[in-house]
Homo-oligomer: A and B are copies of this chain.
Amino acid sequence: MLTRPRQYQLIYESLKTQLTAGVYPKGSLLPSENELAVQFQTTRTTVRQALTELVRDGYIERQHGRGSIVRSERQTLGLLSFQGFSEVVAGGHAVRTTFLKPIMLQDWPSAFVFPLTDAERAVDCLALERIRYADEHPVMLEYTFVPNVGLDDMLTNDLLDGSLFRTLHQRYQLAIIDMQQRLYAVGATARQAAVFGCALHTPLLYMERRYLTSRPGLHVYSQLYCHTDKYAISNGL
């Protein structure tokens, strides 16, 4: 199953590493395709294949006649770019998370907003209630549910770097591979108004999310409320 990495993948990884390390400043030009071909001892075609993937993943843009332009120095693109809290809040803010309650083992909520698979219904679930802060302002109230497939020791161990996804990936080999969501605008309830320190009925962004994991039929579920008065929810803007 282990295939040896292709040449264009090596070039892709090499450039990606340099890009995420900030070797090339945002807006600057990468070495030209011919230079890269010499540098990696290959042909322009192969270099172009690597560059095309970097474009697809949002690391660079290309401009005919000019060169390949570095799009951003962001550290954590890729898989988590569709979620990671620190990514979602427009960049450069001090980010913090607190737990409203400790992680708990419980039954799935009755009338859960998502349909569960048989494998999920068969086990109980871990419930997380977290508040996310940006620059010490509460901006997100998040309820997360994870099917308890041998995750009992998450009750006692802290999350790796405070990140649920990183913990699931590194300690339990459960990678998040895709996300689906529904978006709504709702008015703040008394509880949410208290959390965010805003008036009752203040418009909030409400999201229902289902994360697909590397284990088929296994999902992570989230319901989140966002107070967007000070901070927008953005992707790459």
Contact = CB atoms under 8 A, between A and B. Distances in A.
A228 interface: yes
Given A187-B203, A201-B201, A237-B210, A216 B61 contact: yes
A197 interface: no
A180 B235 contact: yes
A93 to B, nearest CB: 14
A90 B204 CA distance: 21
Interface residues of A, number: 31
Nearest to A201: B201
A226 B185 contact: yes
B187 A233 contact: no
Interface string A67-111: 000000000000000000000001000000000000000000000
A138 to B, nearest CB: 15
Contacts of A208: 232, 237
Report whether over half of chain A's contact residues are helix, strand or loop; otherwise say mixed: strand
A186 interface: yes
A181 B235 CA distance: 6
A184 B58 contact: no
Nearest to A210: B237
A157 B24 CA distance: 45
A203 B182 contact: no
B216 A178 contact: no
Nearest to A233: B183
A203 B178 contact: no
A116 interface: no
A37 interface: no
Interface of A: 58, 61-64, 90, 178, 180-187, 201, 203-206, 208, 210, 216, 226, 228, 232-237
